[in-house]
Chain A
Amino acid sequence: MVGIVSYGAYIPIYRLSRDLPWLTWGGLPVGGERSVANFDEDSITMAVEAGNNCLQGFNREEIDGLFLASTTTPYKEKQCAGLVAEALDLKRNIRTADFTNSIRSATIALRAAMDAIAAGSANKVLVVATDCRIGMPSTEYEQAFGDGAAAILLSKTGLIATIDGCHTHYDDIMDLWRLDKDNYVRFWEDRFIVEHGYLNNTAEAVKALLKEQGLKPADITKAVLYTHDARRHQQVARNIGFDYKTQVQDSLFSNVGNTGAAYALMMLAGALEEAKTGDKLLLANYGDGADAFILNITDGIAKLSPRRGIKYHLDSKLALMSYDKYLRYRGILQGYTFWENQSAATISWRDRRWNINCRGGKCLVCGNINFPPQRICMYCQSKDQFEEVRLADRRGKLFTYSKDNLGPSLDSPIILCIIDFDDGGRFYAQMTDRDPEKIELEMPVELTFRWMHSERGIRNYYWKCRPLRGA
């Protein structure tokens, strides 16, 4: 039986009160707040966060597939799953694939992973769903969307939940879509797309699955239901026959928003956090058709060490104080920039083991960490005597810093940092996800994978530090 071994999630630290865009544009207030990816985050970086949270405590050597689901992978041609796999430090001879173009792509990837494992061609597959969609300014979608990611690790053994049945169907409807060059999500009239798209498709899949499995709605402990918005979440539950108050997993709509391809798996991560042995979950996802799954929670759930999932990230947040900051972070409002950033595909390729995998060199002679990796040890001058060490999960303390107003940034000031890892090694980094007024020497920090800049169409990624999240 194929099932879930681990899960992880990621919600960016910034939350935007939905009243801020509404105060600018008017129209209908959606209410609550939404998550906003920082200026240096995108689908790739959020996928790395969620994937890394999911893999904590697991041997990365055992992962033999990474399926990435998103409608906002930054490259149209060039695989993004490979980049995420590299940043997660997965071994090279594994299967990687991007599942794109549909907000249902997460569960499409999930089924593909289940099939690969069931067929015996893979043992452990990581499915990561991530999205950072942009609603057209002034529309309700701008308020409704959120940014985030979730990951689940699938296998046949060591399960916290078995996946005991699924149903899938496709459907062709113009409800939400983007053309190749569109920045913003297009949409048809809400009343049409919700009824004939979201509500009918979701109910069709769930009802068909329950019937196949000989189950009644009352048999389900928690239904994890993708939703178009808050009101329709209740409506779809009612249409299927779930008691909304007791049987339906929180939609995160009021405090995170509709996170597109990541949405259903983020809710699933939230459900798994609260699940107990013997619980029966239903997972339903929508987009160009619908997928539905029945999951049974095993006694493995009690053994899984605490994950950075939904609760962890919900509690750790910074308020994005203005709408124009949101516009800047998403590149909608562009300021004057003059800076000699450079892209070089050759350098990035040569240096990928430290730029992306975040591996330093540990000197076999003196034991010191060299980062960036060197040929000659900076401490003892031994030549070519290194073993590679992954530094991405190390934590450290802030040794010294500056707050640079002059440097070019979408989020000035640049906090330039020297950090010393608790387990050895020094790292020169920018600090992100921070309040510039709350920076102190010796504060605990951790690393996070971020987008640095784009030039010549190359998105350059690297590691920054941030105040230890949730500390």
Chain B
Amino acid sequence: MESIKDKVAIVGMGCSKFAEHWDRSAWDLVVEATTEALEDAGVALKDIQAAWSGTLGFAGGQSLAYPLKLDYIPIVRVENLCGTGLETIRGATYALIAKAYDLVLCVGFEKTKDRGVGGLGSGEPMGGVHPVFGIQATPPGRYAIAATRYFADYGAEKKHLAMISVKSHYNGARNPKAHLRREITLDQALNAPIIAWPLGLFDCCGVTDGAAAAILCRTEDAKKFRKDFITVKALGNAAGPGCGKMMTTYDWVHWEETYRATQQVYQQAGIKNPRKEIDIVECHDCFSIAELMCYEAMGFCEKGKAKYDIEAGTFALNGEVAFNAGGGLKSFGHPVGASGVREVYEIYKQIQGKAEEPSRQLKNVQLGIAHNQGGHPGTFMCSMGIFGVPGR
């Protein structure tokens, strides 16, 4: 196996405003994000040789060719649950390393608000909804069962989850493109309506429309486009066999798939001490408990000890390692197919020092992790990547 580290560069990125876009279609959002990415890279659509379309809601390569009127180039639509966006970048990276193409486009997007109902539904793959097994369970209900057990085993409380959400809203409030841009207080978080006990309203991420795009080439070509490009350091993917709900050996207090994908990317990027070496983590915080257990699964703190770091503010904007500096899924929003690319967008802008709003610009960002886990506790599909300044 050969290392992929620093072989591929991201030379342009774009991200639509994340919101409930009642007046805009998925195609509008794809055009908006892609246009920004093209302008950022200084290239035209006709320069793109192949593309990856990341979405759960639309089938086929036409989902990108149609809105962008691409000219019969190779496009594959990628679907890997919440890891969809990062999977577009994985596909593009490998194609570039294989020298099949020289300049490619990745777009992740989702239109969640055309369903006539809140939430994301059962989250089951199409055609795979069983008549009785696991039905009527919602994403918050499924995550909440992990929180119940975590609380019992490690003595964490609702307030620790609330502190994570307060932090994410603080960050998102400073991000012009975020969906939910209002700071919240601990009291608000703790007294919000219960969605799925023990998770309240502010423990749950937004359901959002949005798109994000990236333009990639091999690192040796990157300087043609810009000086401050970033490179792909590592890409991981761990698909769990999905038996946590069925196996007595799963303890419900750790994310095995995220732990496994973390091992892959740390090995590829040569990370030994993430707390010292990583500057920013955009992790999958669809629910506050998801972020809490990511601190531990990614090795930023010991198992069961997350509450102490939460209390200490370790993962705040001005803390030791900023988690979800962009607001996270919690505050920035979660258009499923877009989220992975949006996370990379945050790392890209932070490294370039272009976080728009100065109060949320981190200093000297060199390495960042983008992470998504799709499915639900016991049956995750984790996609993960490390991105950073070249040579770091």
Cβ-defined partner of A452 (8 Å) among B135, B145, B193, B245: B135
User: Is A420 part of the contact surface with B, judged by Cβ < 8 Å?
Assistant: yes
Question: Cβ of B136: which chain A residues have Cβ within 8 Å of it?
Answer: 339, 341, 407-409, 414, 430, 452-453
Of A379, A402, A441, which contacts B196 at CB under 8 A?
A402
Q: Is B354 an interface residue (CB 8 A)?
A: no
Q: Taking A340-B122, A378-B241, A407-B137 as contacts, is the C-beta distance between A452 and B248 under 8 angstroms?
A: no
Task: Using C-beta atoms within 8 Å of the partner chain, give the interface range for chain A.
Answer: 35 or more
Given contacts A401-B148, A402-B141, contact A372 B252 (CB under 8 A): no
Is A406 engaged at the interface, CB distance under 8 Å to the other chain?
yes
Residue-wise, chain B 123-160 has the 8 Å CB interface mask toward A (1 for contact) of 00000011111111110111111111100100000000
- Hey, which chain B residues are within 8 Å of A355, CB to CB? 131-133
Distance in angstroms from B155 CB to nearest chain A CB is 13
Q: Is the CB of A402 within 8 A of B248?
A: no
Residues of chain B within 8 A (CB-CB) of A403 are 144, 194, 196-197
Q: How far is the CA of A462 from the CA of B119 in the complex (A)?
A: 25
A401 contacts which chain B residues (CB < 8 A)?
Answer: 145, 148
Please report A residues at the B interface, Cβ cutoff 8 Å. Answer: 338-344, 347-348, 351, 355, 368, 370-372, 378-379, 399-409, 413-414, 416-418, 420, 424-426, 428, 430, 441, 452-453, 458, 460-462
Task: Return the contact of A462 from the options B133, B152, B252 (Cβ within 8 A).
Answer: B133
Q: Contact: B137 with A414, CB < 8 Å?
A: yes
Q: Is B391 in contact with chain A by the CB < 8 A criterion?
A: no
Confirm or deny: B243 has a beta carbon within 8 angstroms of a beta carbon on chain A. yes
> How many A-B contacts at CB < 8 Å in the complex?
132
Q: Please indicate which of the listed interface residues A347, A378, A402 has the most CB atoms of chain B within 10 Å of its own CB.
A: A402
A-B pairs with beta carbons under 8 Å apart, 23 shown: A339-B122, A340-B122, A341-B129, A347-B130, A368-B248, A378-B247, A379-B249, A400-B148, A402-B196, A402-B197, A402-B199, A404-B138, A405-B195, A406-B141, A407-B136, A407-B137, A414-B141, A418-B145, A420-B248, A426-B246, A428-B378, A430-B136, A453-B136
* A416–B195 alpha-carbon span in the complex (Å): 13
Partner of A416, one of B133, B142, B152, B198: B142
Chain B: interface residue total (CB-CB under 8 A): 42
Contact residues in A for B196 (Cβ distance below 8 Å): 402-407, 413, 416
Shortest C-beta distance, B248 to chain A (Å), equals 5
Compute how far the CA of A399 lies from the CA of B249 in the bound complex, rounded to whole angstroms. Answer: 12
Task: Give the nearest-CB partner of B242 in chain A.
Answer: A378
Contact A342 B131 (CB under 8 A): yes
State A372–B242 Cα separation when bound (angstroms): 12
User: Chain A CB within 10 Å — which of B132, B133, B195, B248 has the most?
Assistant: B132
Known A379-B247, A399-B252, A426-B245: A441·B131 in contact at CB below 8 Å: no
Residue of B nearest to A376 (CB): B241
A346 to B142, CA, bound (A): 27
* B220 CB, min distance to chain A CBs, angstroms: 43
What does the 1/0 interface line of B315-336 toward A look like (CB < 8 Å)?
0000000000000000000000
